[in-house]
Amino acid sequence: MLINCVAYENGARLTELAIDDISDYLQRPGCFVWVALRDASPEELDKMQEEFGLHELAVEDARHGHQRPKIEEYDDSVFAVIHLVEPLGDTYTLGELNVFVGSNYVLSVRNRSQQNFLGVRARCEREPHLLSQGPAFVFYALMDAVVDRYFPVVDLMESELEAIEENIFVEGAARNNIERLYELKRKVMRLKHVVAPLMEVAGKLTGGRVPAGCGNSREYFRDVYDHLQRIDASVDTIRDTIGTAIQVNLSMVAISDSEVSKRLAAWAGIFGVATAFAGIWGMNFQFMPELGWQYGYPAALLAIAGTCLLLYRRFKRAGWL
């Protein structure tokens, strides 16, 4: 679906265009066309390929989607894939933004995402001195908007981790904590797989041989790269903290099991002594002096109870009961 199609000249907005009029404005000096599509159909992509002369391999990647974040050069054009991260309740979904950048055009194709970039277009139009840099600045603005939307996702993960950490020392919550930690770890790794490749993309736009048409916006892409470094560092910190929390949680489980084992061992010792006394007096020997004593039975019970009580007090003082 076509979102908008606008022509710009020297940093100023000229007019909205019909798709069939794109080629006319591409021939004007100092003019470039910015087209935004959402969930583009194969027919729309074919039309864009015809109007802008897009490389067939780049169009094929945009048509099939599910690409790893990357940047590729085709002659005098650039094709980039950027993943969109959208919070959805306790989790998040991944969309995709395909950006085609040439000397006189920018084509963005948004797939599987509810996020829009109307604010990006408004921001660019408010800064005509920057928009006059051409398609490279639009490419930067789109990438910057995507990266800025990663920060709330990182904040949600940090908040979720803090909530789990508060329950680590709650008795009986071990299993639930481990399940939540592993689920959070899975989400963190998905975000890591989004951020790390995009850092490579931003790195190619800031140092070494910068792709054609992007050199005049190198310092802006460096700003995006710095943001990605901050996000990547936060993701690594969260991942390390999750590992520590899992170890602490497992240690708490081991401690709890040890406490149970000590209680069982203490009670087993107490009942073991009682069983030993009962076994001794239960032997069928003819000559056992206490068997003929009229107070033998109460004395035996008293000896068993006294010994058990003594053991109970010792185990209680030792913290086993």
List residues bridging with 109 in a β-sheet: 37, 98
Write down all domains in the chain, each with its CATH number in brackets: 1-130 (3.30.460.20), 256-318 (1.20.58.340)
pLDDT score recorded for residue 208: 65
pLDDT score recorded for residue 275: 79
pLDDT score recorded for residue 215: 66
pLDDT score recorded for residue 192: 92
Cα 321 from Cα 318, distance rounded (Å)? 8
Q: What string of pLDDT tens digits covers the 321 residues of the chain? A: 888 889 988 888 888 888 888 888 888 888 989 899 998 888 999 999 888 888 899 889 888 878 889 888 888 888 999 999 887 766 778 889 999 998 888 999 988 888 788 888 888 888 888 888 888 889 999 999 999 999 989 998 999 999 988 888 887 777 888 888 998 999 999 999 999 999 988 888 887 666 766 767 788 888 999 999 999 999 999 999 999 888 888 887 777 767 677 777 777 877 787 777 777 667 665 656 666 667 776 777 787 788 878 877 887 777 777
pLDDT score recorded for residue 289: 67
Question: Which residues touch 278 (CB under 8 Å, ≥6 apart)?
Answer: 304
Locate tokens 């070494």: which residue? 208
* Token digits of residue 170: 């709650």
Burial of 229 (0-12, 13-18, 19+ CB in 10 A): middle
pLDDT score recorded for residue 170: 81
